[in-house]
Amino acid sequence: MAISAKLRWKRYINELRFINEEVDFVREISKEAASEFQIYYEEYCAKRGIDISELNERYSDRVGKLYESPTDDGGADNNPQLDAESDGALILHEPTSEEPVNSNEEEQYEKHLGDYQMTQDELEIHDAFNKVFRKLAMILHPDKISDDITPAEREEKLKMFKAAKAALEERKYFVLLDIAEKFNVTAPKNYKQQIRWMKKEIETLNSLLEKEMKTYNYLFSECETEERKDQLIKRFMSQVFGPEVFNT
């Protein structure tokens, strides 16, 4: 029974690591594609004599609603969400009730996140990995690193300490496990409990990945022809300004 649980635990760790990497990868692609999408959008409109500023002003009410967050009670706000990136590019996506589980929190993990009540599994698992982090901190914390090692070795340990701290805060426990293995720090053995948490985490991250892959920036990165790019721009403009924009 214990062997079976441990093997399943390892499988879910690998799956969780993969989905986290996929989310990060897709987000990086979207970030890189943002300026390209914006430039192509502006060129598309310029070639057709479409004044973007005039459209934004004419449809200001509609555009304004797209910037609004969905209502807390899941009411009538079914408009797509519109986010403005720092480079001015736009990301348009359908709103979702799913929120990413991973977030940046303080070192002392909050048991309540807004109205969200952490489950008993989440509390106990975080506590178990907090103990792993504390053991690693006894080895990797700047004040604990021996003076007898080389500057390069010291820098490597500092990097691992920062990575371990971030992993605990963001609940990327598989990173903690990788670092713990290097220093023979024992991993928590509550395998079944961790499996329950990981299955829920994987489901949430898959929903997040699906949402990220529907952003216009990411969809633009997947377009291989001018025709596909033009079709995407038309979809984007129809969603922002309404389909009637092409009839004026």
- Bridge partners of 117, per DSSP, are 112
Residues 6+ apart with CB under 8 A from 10: none
Q: What is the pLDDT of residue 98?
A: 42
Q: What is the pLDDT of residue 118?
A: 63
Sequence length of the chain is 248
Q: What is the pTM of this model?
A: 0.71
Per domain, the residue ranges of the chain are: 15-101+213-247, 118-206
| Contact between residue 55 and residue 6 where contact means Cβ atoms under 8 Å apart | no
Quick one: 125 exposed, middle or buried, by C-beta within 10 A (0-12, 13-18, 19+)? buried
**Rounded CA gap, 62 and 134, in Å?**
51
| Contact between residue 12 and residue 199 where contact means Cβ atoms under 8 Å apart | yes
Task: Please give the angle made by the CA atoms of 4, 10 and 13, to the nearest 5 degrees.
Answer: 140
**Rounded CA gap, 169 and 108, in Å?**
8
- Bridge partners of 176, per DSSP, are none
Q: What is the residue type of 241?
A: F
- From first to last of the 248 residues of the chain, give the pLDDT tens digit: 466 888 999 999 999 999 999 999 999 999 999 999 999 999 999 999 999 999 989 888 887 777 654 444 433 333 333 444 433 344 455 444 444 333 343 333 344 334 446 678 888 899 999 999 999 999 999 999 988 899 999 999 999 999 999 999 988 999 999 999 999 999 898 898 999 889 999 999 999 999 899 899 999 999 999 999 999 999 999 888 888 888 76
